[in-house]
Amino acid sequence: MKRNLLLISNSTNPGEAYLGWCQDMIKDFCLRHNVKDVLFIPYAGVSMGYDVYEQKVQKVFNTLGLNLYSIHKENNPIEAVKNAKCIAVGGGNTFHLAYELHRNNLMEEIATVAKEGLPYMGWSAGSNIAGPTLKTTNDMPIIEPKSFNCMNLVPFQINPHYTDFFDPKHGGETRDDRLGEFIKIEPNVWVAGIREATALSLEKGNLKLIGRNNKMKVLKGDREAKEYTLNDDINFLMQ
């Protein structure tokens, strides 16, 4: 398996700088794969706009010794993907991200190079689309993409920002309720709920939960949901 993936749950922790908690993780990932130049995909950044989003991420990556450039400024986005040394997909709205990737014929193009070993990193929405579909996103469907199908870089669904927090003052569905609906409809598909300040790493065929001391919740069909720690073997998700 050639894939080299860094799938981060969140970009910001309360009281910390943007991408602050995971910047060492990003730096180490790029060092391991001899990456200096990173192609950025800003399509999930609806509110701030692509130029501002590029500058925001660029500022962080520059401090890590990385040159980041955005696909929205490339004359030929498909060629930019083919020539990229590393791809980073930012968070935001997953529906808009998928819409733009499909519209520009980039979903399959990025999946192809990533499956051949090109280093791929994403956070939030950028991690969600690494799975088979966007069906376990937390986002509002503000736009209708051509398809819910995503990159299938891993064979399981990802739910970034997973939390089992229950507010007794809130009468609506919990995250577990919503994921429970998904596994009812798709009983044969694993779902990995990755909490804040954690990420999934796939390198040399080995899938690991990394980050701060936290757990991941895994759900499937009528099986009892189970928590996995940073020290547990989670490679069964790749089968």
Q: Are 199 and 9 in contact (CB under 8 A)?
A: yes
Distance between CA atoms of 216 and 162, rounded to whole angstroms?
Answer: 8
C-alpha dihedral, 31 to 1 to 86 to 156, nearest 10°: -110
Q: List the structure tokens of 230.
A: 């940073």
Q: What pLDDT does 171 receive?
A: 74
Instruction: Tell me which residue of 7, 75, 4, 71 sits closest to 39, measured CA to CA.
Output: 71
| Rg for the chain, CA atoms, rounded | 17
Q: How many domains does the chain have?
A: 1
Q: Are 51 and 18 in contact (CB under 8 A)?
A: no
Q: Is the pTM of this model over 0.95?
A: yes
Q: What is the CATH number of the domain that holds 153?
A: 3.40.50.880
- Provide DSSP, 38-103: EEEE-TT-TTT-HHHHHHHHHHHHHHTT-EEEEGGG-S-HHHHHHH-S-EEE--S-HHHHHHHHHH
Q: Going residue by residue through the chain (239 aa), what tens digit of pLDDT does each one get? A: 699 999 999 999 999 999 999 999 999 999 999 999 999 999 999 999 999 999 999 999 999 999 999 999 999 999 999 999 999 999 999 999 999 999 999 999 999 999 999 999 999 999 999 999 999 999 999 999 999 999 999 999 999 999 988 777 877 789 999 999 999 999 999 999 999 999 999 999 999 999 998 899 999 999 999 999 999 999 999 99
- In this structure, how many other beta carbons lie within 10 angstroms of the beta carbon of residue 147? 13
Domain that holds residue 36: 5-238
Q: Which residues of 7-32 are buried (b: 16+ CB within 10 A; e: fewer)?
A: bbbbbbeeeeeebebbeebbbebbee
Q: Are 3 and 207 in contact (CB under 8 A)?
A: no
Q: Which residues have a catalytic role annotated?
A: 124, 139, 161
Helix (H, G, I), strand (E, B) or coil at 20: coil
